[in-house]
Amino acid sequence: MAAKRKRGALAAGKAKRARSAPSAGEAVPEGGPREPSVPQQEYSIPPPVSQGKWKNKERVLIFSSRGINFRTRHLMQDLRTLMPHSKADTKMDRKDQLFVINEVCEMKNCNKCIFFEAKKKQDLYMWLSNTPQGPSAKFLVQNIHTLAELKMTGNCLRGSRPLLSFDPIFDREPHYALLKELFIQIFSTPQYHPKSQPFVDHVFTFTITDERIWFRNYQIIEEDASLVEIGPRFVLNLIKIFQGSFGGPTLYENPHYQSPNMHRRLIRLSVAAKFREKQQVKEVQKIKKKGTKVLVEEDPTEVVFETPAEEKPVEIQLVKPESKPIVKDKKKLRKIQRKKQKKLFRTEG
């Protein structure tokens, strides 16, 4: 077996190979520099990529409650691949209280958390929290599109550090400024993280439109610095911001938020109102039909363009018509008709 190579031996060998060419300060031997007959092959090992020290020890726990659908599961997996400083955990039972998540984060050695909470198997809520002190924010997640679903052309290096781009509105409102700091601490990959790559080739954008936060992920193309969307994409509708982690006093409540239950109720009421309106229109039409009709006086000019029909002579039938046999079976009726036709042909012959 080959002996193990020590770290000091590599540095010593590298230093010896570096003295193959004379430096400017050394004296050149008599006779001038000699041309080497055989070119010497030098091998150099590049230095490690992350030469700095990993100081920012942010770790994000990404997990969910039971009852999520396949789309939420794929979105959660996409966020884990995009964030190398994230950790996973098993699904939490619905009966457990939310403050239990602080203990789970402490056991996993995480100081940030992204928790997906599913309700009624159709509504998805996202919690962003700074554990265990707070603050925390609760969002309603809408319009989810995952990496596999969109089939976009963009692609980025796995584990690379993203740029975070924020809308200018984040600096105007105080609650948006708090959310901006929370997004920066959660979604930004720490520098010199062991699982990260020292490249910046994609951008996370947070845009505010229609009182909602729109999340997009774009790749930076080196040729012309244009952007190509990678995914995933989703929309966050802010509900509340709490002072503590997964609870506590309410710092901000969104006045424009409408719960999914209320939204579905309004849709049902609008459909019922349309149906009721149609029924009322039908009843009004029935009443109009049953009402007395107004008799219009006869117009004397109606008979002007009427032409009298030709009178046909009245024909009086003296012979009683033959009675047709009542036959229930159609086949028997056809046989009787054929027999009559044969008799007629015989008499004519």
Structure tokens at 75: 């979105």
Level-2 CATH architecture, domain 60-263: 3-Layer(aba) Sandwich (3.40)
Average pLDDT over residues 272-277: 95
Contacts of 107 (CB under 8 A, 6+ apart): none
Q: 83 pLDDT exceeds 70?
A: yes
pLDDT of res. 121:
85
Residue 340 neighbours by CB distance under 10 Å? 10
- pTM equals 0.65
Residue 142 neighbours by CB distance under 10 Å? 14
pLDDT of res. 28:
45
pLDDT of res. 9:
47
Higher pLDDT, 5 or 342: 342
Average pLDDT over residues 307-336: 78
Average pLDDT over residues 11-19: 45
C-alpha distances out from residue 109 to 60, 167, 173, Å: 9, 32, 32
Higher pLDDT, 4 or 149: 149
| Residue 117 contacts residue 124 (beta carbons within 8 Å) | yes
Q: 22 pLDDT exceeds 80?
A: no
pLDDT in tens, 116-173: 999 988 899 999 999 888 899 999 999 999 988 877 777 888 888 899 999 999 999 9
Q: How confident is the model at residue 325 (pLDDT cuts 50, 70, 90)?
A: low
Q: Where are the domains of the chain?
A: 60-263
